[in-house]
Amino acid sequence: MAKRTIMTEKEISLSIEKISGDILKKNPDLKNLVLIGIVTRGVCLANRLAKEISKKKNINLPVGSLDITFYRDDVDSIARQPLAKETKIPFDLTSKKIILVDDVLFTGRSIRAALDEIMDFARPKSVQLAVLIDRGHRELPIQADFVGKTIKTNYSDQIQVQLKEVDGVDRVTYEVKK
C-alpha cells in the first residue's frame, strides 16, 4: 500500500502550539524548566517548542540534545551499528524539570534509554515526555505527558516524521507494511 500523509505542515505546527500550551498549563512555574530532544528529530521539535513558548511567555528555555545510541539494548542484534551523533547538554540538569521530546512514541525502548542517559548526567527534579505521535505498542510501562496526535497502527506499519530542518519538508506519513 502506498504512503499516505496523516499530518500536514499546518497540523504539525498546530500540534506544536497545542503541546506548548499544555506544557505551560502543567508547569506554571517556568523556572528550572528545560527541553531535551532525542536526536535527530526530537531536537528539532524541542527547538520549535522552545520558540513557541518564548513567543507566549517571552522566556528562552534551555534546549539540549540527547543521542541514545550508547544506551540502546540491541547493540548486537540490529542490522547495522548506528553512528552516534552528539549529546549536547550545555547546562546542569540537577533539580531541573525536564521536558523530554521525541517524534514518535512506539515501544518505549528509546525513552527507557534516554531516561538512563539523563540519570547519568544528574538527578533531575522530574522528567515529562512530549511526543508528536503516539502510535501504541508499548513494550515498557512508559507513557507520554503531552501528545500531538494518537493513531492506531499495526506493529509492522511505518510512521515517518519529516521535518524541515532535516528533511526539507514538514509531513508525517503512514505506510502499511506486511
Among 3, 30, 56, 116, binds another protein (CB under 8 A): 116
Residues 16-55 as x/- pattern, contact with another protein by CB under 8 A? ----------------------------------------
In 3D space, the residue among 40, 22, 20, 29 whose CA is nearest the CA of residue 104 turns out to be: 40
Among 55, 91, 120, 164, binds another protein (CB under 8 A): 120
Cβ–Cβ under 8 Å, residues 166 and 44: yes
Q: Which residues pair with 133 in a beta bridge?
A: 104, 149
**DSSP H or E stretch at residue 134:** strand 126-134
Among 30, 59, 75, 140, binds another protein (CB under 8 A): 75
CB of 134 to another protein, least distance (A): 26
Q: Does 67 bind another protein (CB under 8 A)?
A: yes
Q: Does 123 bind another protein (CB under 8 A)?
A: no
Q: Are strands 158-162 and 146-150 parallel, antiparallel or unpaired?
A: unpaired
Q: Does 90 bind another protein (CB under 8 A)?
A: no
CA distances from 115 to 32, 68, 163 (A): 18, 9, 24
Neighbours of 16 (CB within 10 A): 18
Residues of this chain that interact with another protein (CB under 8 A) are: 67, 69-72, 75-76, 78, 80-81, 83-87, 116-117, 120-121
